[in-house]
Structure formats: C-alpha cells, structure tokens
C-alpha cells in the first residue's frame, strides 16, 4: 500500500512539473514544412485539424484566400491551432462568411464556428486581420469598414465567443501598424482601384467594365504586385456607378480634389491617356496622360551621332535648335491657356543665356531610336473650352514604375492652387487652377482617350495606353506632402521597389 501511495505521489508531482513547464516555459511553437503548427506534448490533446489547412478544404465550401487565411487562436488554447478563412457555399459563391476549423474537431463541421453570411448583413473587406482586442484570449475577426454617423473608415471587429463570432461590430482601439497606414489612406478617398489581386473598388462606390479580355493575377501568394496590364491594342477600362455607365451618382465629379496613380509605360503610344473622364471629346474632360510619343531629347541628333568620335562643335542641349513637336498655329492657339488667364508680357531679357561648357569628353548617344521619357499632360475642360493644361517635360520614364499625384494645395473651392508630384517629389505648381467642371460624366476611361476617333491633318489620333496601372485613387481632399510620402512608401512596398 505504501508503494502505491509513493507511485501516486510521484505521478502527481510529475504532472505538476509538466503543468508548470507548460505555464512558465512556453513550447517551441512554429510551423513544419507543410504549413501546420508544430505540436508540443501538452497541446497534442487538442492538435490542429489534419483535414483542414492551408492546402486542404471542405468540399462543401469554396475558399477565398485573398482574405485572412491562417492559423490563429479562437478556442483560448494560448496557441495558434485554429485555422480561419473566408468561405462560401459551392452553390452560392458570392454569399461569403468567415469561419474557423477548431483544433481537436477533425472531420466534424469545419464551418460551425463562424460569422453570419453576407446575405445576413455581414460586412467584409480584404483589409482584414485577427487580434485579441478585449483580452479574453480569443482573437476577434477585424477589417476596415465605414463606421459611425459620418461613415469614416475604422478597424471594425466581431468578438470570438464560445460557439462563434458575435454579430455586433466594435472598433479596435489599437490596430496593427499596417492597418493604421491603410486607414490613413482611406480618409477622403472616393475611388480606390488597387489592381493588385482583384479589380474591386475598395471604397465600394464604382464598378468597372473591361474591354479586350483583360485579366489580373488573383493569387495572393504572389506578394509582388504586377498591376493591371493594357496591351495598347484593344484593352481599356470603363468606370461607372450607374446602370447607364455614367459616373457621378455616388459622389459628384466636381468634388474631386486629388488624383493618385502608379503607371508603367511599356511603350509611348501617341497621346496615351492614363485616364480620361468626360462626356466625349472636348466636353468637360479631366485627363492625365503623355504628350505625343515621348520626348526626343538631345542625344537623338543624327549629325552629332555621325561625328561623335571627334570633339563636336555642334551646339548641344540646351543651346541651339532642338527637335520639338510639330504644331499648327490653329492648334497652338487652341491648346494654350492665353484665352483663359490674364496675359502678362515679360520685358526683354538683358542677360546672357547660361550655356553648357564646351568639353572634349565623348557623350553617350542614344542610337536605338527609343524615347526614354515623355511629357506629362494634365488637362481640365469646361464644355469645349480647355481651362487648364499643365505640362511637365521629361517627367515619365519608359519601362519604370512611376507614381503620379495631382492635388490642390489650398482649400479654395473655385480656383485652388495645384501641384504635381512625381514619386512623392513636388515637380510643378500652378496658382488658380481648375477643378472638374461637372458633376456627372458619361465616358470615364482608364487607358483610353475620348479623342481616340478624332483625327486631323496635323496629328495622328490618340492611341490606347500600353503598359500597366496600379493603385488608382481619387480624393475629395487635398493631399499634403506627408500623406503623399506615406502613400508612395505603401505603393513601393506592394511593387517591391527599392
């Protein structure tokens, strides 16, 4: 009997040491090569499911891995052994809900611990995450959504309870850093087409219609975003928010104060437009694109190329005659803003031009015929009158991702000052600029000009854009330099730029 008591005492003491070890010396958590968590001795009594995981799913459901798709803790095990993801029934693919396959429930209903469905009023967003927001040991399901009286974007969560997620939404007061960054970018945004893993508007105000069988890589495992590609032949995007394909019902176009977009030109097609919003050609347009087929540049001078092995006496840029775009007097008068702004005549210059110093050093010559940069062109029209035309020479490089921001710089509601930023750097400013002049526009395109079918004896028609577009946004507020810097850093991270 004494031996039995001794064995019993030893067993109790051993179990006590195991419990203390689990409490004060955390197990070596991690993931094996298959992506499943490493299970310790004590936690093996409630191990992760073997039938549901990163590469396995219940055949009754379709998973959307662009939402949160990972192991977490909703069962209060102090270990991330519950696999949570966004699902939809196979016969109702748009009726999404969020569910967790709990540890230790192998081959039971993997979607029993869940939220309501979208059809029941559950709101979803791809900017989602999981965190223990109330200190109960269970991770709540959170995402960025419009919330409150003014519909400001906030990190909204549903608590994890014993049997599922609470339907009531609460605000996370201490969200992760990357969510804080996104909330900042949402402020004042009325259109956000990221073109990363989908073609959705992240503020849910506009829809798009694609031309030319356009597609995008919807695989979230590809962490480097490629943007949406345009072939320059028959592909473009039409943006609308009404059944008639016009834009301006959810927000008036005249309320837009800033545009932001990343662009990659594969080729400088003639007068290619990054976007052109209007009611046709020369009818209340707001356009952003390039001028002609790119800038000629000094290095394309053929005579200089012939004698480049000698010390050249031919004037180089900025001295001497330079190649310029051929423009008729009629077109020049039409495209200038001399009929809009007050004309001022500067006095004759009384100083010499600063010319490039003569040098015997051989300069690199571009013999390929490829133009390496293009002039950026931003215009605002009121009916058929061009009210503002901003041109920024050599602003857009070819085959290189470039962020462009056009924004007001003060709060004047009628003639605000304007600025253009390239890769977060201020490059151009204009006093007393112009905003979009109408509330609704019928022909709003990405990658296509409203002048595509217009020709003249002086110039070829506008061509479709050839390249890629990423992170296209419109704001009803002015964007300051700090905001533009943060936006630029966010985009660089998504594009994996150095």
H or E element in which residue 193 lies: strand 189-193
| Sequence spans of domains, the chain | 24-175, 188-304+368-495
Task: Look at residue 347 and tell me whether its pLDDT is greater than 80.
Answer: no
Rounded to an integer, what distance in angstroms lies between the CA atom of residue 341 and that of residue 258?
22
pLDDT (0 to 100) of residue 39? 47
Q: Higher pLDDT residue, 72 or 21?
A: 72
CA dihedral 494, 287, 413, 205 (to 10 degrees): -50
Task: Look at residue 358 and tell me whether its pLDDT is greater than 70.
Answer: no
CATH 3.40.1110.10 corresponds to the domain 188-304+368-495: no
Which of 418, 411, 389 is CA-nearest to residue 327? Answer: 389
- Tokens of residue 311, six digits: 């010390």
User: Which band of pLDDT confidence, cut at 50, 70 and 90, is reported for residue 365?
Assistant: very low
User: Which band of pLDDT confidence, cut at 50, 70 and 90, is reported for residue 345?
Assistant: low
Which of 402, 428, 410, 377 is CA-nearest to residue 488? Answer: 402
DSSP-derived secondary structure for 23-82: HHS-----B-TTSPBPPPTGGGGGPPPSSSBTTB--TTEEE-TTS--EEE-SSS-SS--E
pLDDT (0 to 100) of residue 498? 80
> Once rounded to an integer, what is the mean pLDDT over residues 414-433?
96
User: Which residues, other chains included, contact 452 with Cβ-Cβ below 8 Å and sequence gap of 6+?
Assistant: 461, 462, 463, 464
Least confident of 208-222, 233-247, 388-402: 208-222
Task: Look at residue 402 and tell me whether its pLDDT is greater than 70.
Answer: yes
- Tokens of residue 199, six digits: 């073609």
What distance lies between CA 212 and its chain's CA centroid? 22
């Amino acid at each position: 009997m004494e031996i039995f008591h001794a064995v019993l005492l030893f067993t109790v003491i051993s179990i006590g040491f195991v419990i203390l070890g689990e409490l004060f010396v955390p197990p070596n958590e991690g993931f094996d090569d298959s992506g499943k968590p490493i299970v310790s001795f004590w936690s093996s009594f409630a191990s992760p499911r073997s039938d549901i995981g990163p590469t396995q799913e219940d055949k009754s459901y379709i998973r959307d891995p662009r939402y949160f798709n990972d192991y977490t803790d909703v069962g209060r095990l102090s270990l991330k052994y519950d696999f949570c993801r966004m699902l939809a029934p196979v016969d109702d693919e748009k009726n999404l809900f969020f569910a967790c396959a709990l540890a230790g429930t192998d081959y039971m209903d993997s979607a029993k611990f869940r939220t309501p469905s979208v059809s029941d009023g559950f709101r979803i967003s791809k900017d989602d995450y999981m965190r223990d927001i109330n200190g109960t040991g269970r991770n709540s399901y959170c995402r960025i959504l419009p919330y409150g009286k003014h519909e400001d974007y906030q990190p909204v969560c549903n608590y994890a309870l014993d049997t599922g997620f609470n339907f009531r939404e609460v605000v996370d007061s201490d969200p992760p850093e990357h969510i804080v960054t996104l909330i900042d970018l949402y402020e004042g945004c009325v259109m956000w087409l990221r073109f990363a893993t989908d073609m959705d508007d992240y503020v849910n105000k506009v829809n798009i219609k694609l031309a030319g069988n356009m597609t995008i890589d919807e695989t979230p495992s590809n962490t480097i975003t490629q943007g949406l590609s345009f072939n320059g032949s028959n592909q473009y995007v039409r943006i609308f928010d009404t059944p008639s394909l016009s834009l301006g019902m959810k927000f008036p176009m005249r309320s837009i104060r800033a545009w932001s977009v990343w662009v990659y030109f594969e080729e400088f097609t003639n007068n290619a437009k990054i976007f052109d919003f209007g009611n046709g050609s020369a009818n209340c347009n707001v356009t952003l694109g390039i001028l002609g087929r790119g800038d000629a540049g000094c290095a394309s001078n053929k005579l200089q190329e012939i004698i480049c092995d000698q010390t050249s006496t031919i004037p180089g840029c900025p001295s001497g005659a330079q190649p310029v775009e051929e423009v008729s007097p009629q077109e020049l008068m039409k495209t200038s803003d001399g009929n809009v702004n007050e004309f001022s005549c500067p006095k004759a210059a009384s100083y010499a031009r600063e010319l490039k110093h003569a040098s015997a050093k051989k300069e690199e010559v571009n013999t390929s015929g490829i133009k390496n940069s293009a002039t950026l062109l931003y215009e605002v029209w009121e009916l058929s009158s061009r009210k503002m035309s901003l041109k920024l020479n050599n602003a857009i490089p070819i085959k290189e991702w470039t962020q462009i921001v056009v924004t007001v710089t003060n709060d004047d509601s009628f003639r605000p000052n304007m600025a253009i930023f390239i890769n977060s750097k201020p490059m151009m400013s204009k006093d007393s600029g112009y905003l979009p002049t109408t509330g609704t526009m019928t022909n709003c395109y990405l990658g296509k000009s409203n002048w595509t079918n217009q020709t003249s004896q002086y110039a070829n028609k506008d061509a479709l854009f050839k390249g890629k577009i990423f992170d296209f946004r419109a704001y009803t507020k002015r964007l300051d330099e700090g905001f533009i810097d943060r936006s630029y850093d966010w985009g660089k991270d998504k594009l994996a730029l150095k």
